[in-house]
Amino acid sequence: MKKKIISPTLTLIIMVLTIWISFSKLLVPNIIIIATTIFLLFLSKYWNKLLIFIFLPLLPAIGSAWAIIVHSSNYKYALLIFTRTYSFAALGLILATYISLVELLKYFEQHGLSSNIVYGLLVVIQALPRIQYETQMITKSSRLRGIFLPFWSPYYYAKAIFIALTWQPQISEAMTIHAYEDFKTRTHYNKYTIDKIKSLFIIVLFSILLILLLIINK
């Protein structure tokens, strides 16, 4: 069954934007990225993520801008760095929110990426909720004993390693049962392909925006 996705297209555009704003001295692209992210989160009603986006990068952004002001008194460049920090956070948040990493990995696996790499990463992704649950159980049980563990406590990392060691033989046996073998051609129930119409629309929109920004720069 064919399943059309736009994750590869969005990922490519995010990578291009990340490289571009890393070297660009324009303020406008950063503002557009920030405004677009806020609009998308507001439209999707992701209120928690919106608050995280507003407050989480605030301290690094202020720190970077303040360091530039103190050493060079260049307020324009300080504002550029401030908005660039938020732009990086915005692109990362869009990547995490609107792009399915599982679909992206399966698409690349079906188009030439090593299955060992893909399935290794998929195992890690699937293990994250279990590790999160176990760490929450450690936190709750320690608080019942009157012990408050900081997030850097070695107990959490030891638990994560223990879960990985426990799951390793189970995952290996499950993959063997499903006839998984290294470097063998596999069949797929879902065949992921790029949605050409949506991807073309996104690329055209992105190209128009890029041309407008270049015109503004001149």
* Residue 79 covered by a domain: yes
**Euclidean distance between CA atoms 88 and 18, whole angstroms:** 7
pLDDT of 15 higher than 60: yes
**Euclidean distance between CA atoms 82 and 84, whole angstroms:** 5
Same domain, 129 and 57: no
Same domain, 33 and 120: no
**Euclidean distance between CA atoms 104 and 121, whole angstroms:** 11
pLDDT of 218 higher than 60: no
The count of domains in the chain is 2
Residue 154, domain extent: 114-177
Read off the pLDDT of residues 68-106 as tens digits, 9 standing for 90 and up. Answer: 888 887 888 999 999 999 999 999 998 888 888 888 888
Its pTM stands at: 0.74
Read off the pLDDT of residues 149-178 as tens digits, 9 standing for 90 and up. Answer: 776 777 777 777 777 777 767 777 777 666
Same domain, 197 and 89: yes
Residue 192: strand pairing partners: 3
